[in-house]
Structure 1
Amino acid sequence: MRRARLLIFAKPPRMGLAKTRLAAGMGRTEARRIAHFTLARTMRAVRGSSLDAALYLAPDRALDETLGGIWPPFLPRFSQGPGTLTERLGKGLADSPNGPVLFIGTDAPDISAAHLRCAVRALQRHDAVFGPAEDGGFWLFGVNKRPGLPPLFDNVRWSGPHTLADVRANLPSSARLALLQTLQDVDDRNDWKRWSQNKLR
């Protein structure tokens, strides 16, 4: 099997750009701090996984930023491109060769290198893998790309309780699916409060 490719979809932790829903409840400065925190933890997991990874960044000017080393210099960088999330994820999949392809964002602070390696192992025995999020979305999606695969991101209701189910419905009915550990995404003030409280227990 071809080596798995990991696509990280990210934005720089800049006020007014990242974590806009969080900023609405906590202010732009605190949202930027949390965005920086979750991004750094995601990059740490990626570095520890030793996977063939690439950064898909927005906006395009982020391609030239270093963020004090948070964007690992050894990771190739690509533009997410214009359009909706459906179109941008579709571009990442189209850019990738046939074989295992994994997608992650930077909203799940508990993501680890072990989670990423587990996803790769799951794709050795399954057609697709999800890392479910508590809100009905997912912190990871992986698929064994092959010729004839249907559009996987069409008609998906993003950022809501139906996101994972909608992507799953786009997979062939015969697809063998694997589920990883459920993690919490941090999208708004309530998410951050719940995650922080759980860490203090």
Structure 2
Amino acid sequence: MLTPEIALSFFGIAILLALAPGPDNVFVLMQSAMWGRRSGMLVVLGLCTGLVGHTVAVAVGLAALFAASETAFIVLKLAGAVYLIYLAWGAFRARPDTHAASRPPRQSNATLYRRGIVMNLTNPKVSLFFLAFLPQFTSAARGSVALQTLSLGLLFIAATLLVFGCIAFFSGVFGELIQRSAKAQRLLNYFAGTVFLGLAAKLAFASR
């Protein structure tokens, strides 16, 4: 099972990754800023619900891969490392966008919740990211890899709920920070890119 040290370090990194500007948190931000905290929180709950599906899928897949062969593990870790480097490259090259976004339309509560689920489940990059990210914090020596992965997924969901919930609650403050401060956007992107590179290096040299 997960040790307290691993759980804490994973949760800290998940918080940082959730803070990095992206389409999901920007959508939460704009819905909250325009239509109130309730609208933003409904989107957040939908996104977190979608993450449950990705977590279960990755947990089952990782368990099978770890049990398969050394070759499967090597292919997985190298593919994950390459993908993390790609994410780092994108983060470092991302340009701040300080233009005011157009006013999003008001939507029903059920529509906002469903949209959050669909936005997450239909994004294959989430599963790819989980496949690249979660194995670095699991070990067959600590028991079931599937259970460890599920635990990590729940921690990631908790981090997402915390960060995105704060964005929804403090939408005015975050709106000023993320939408109008190029410096803040560059800083967050730089931190995210650095984390991605570090994770890629760790994954590339990981042992089974």
Fold shared by both chains (TM-score > 0.5): no
* TM-score relative to the length of structure 1: 0.27
- Whose helix proportion is higher, 1 or 2? 2
- Whose strand proportion is higher, 1 or 2? 1
Larger RCO: Structure 1 or Structure 2 (Cα < 8 Å, ≥ 6 residues apart)?
2
- Bigger radius of gyration among the two: 2
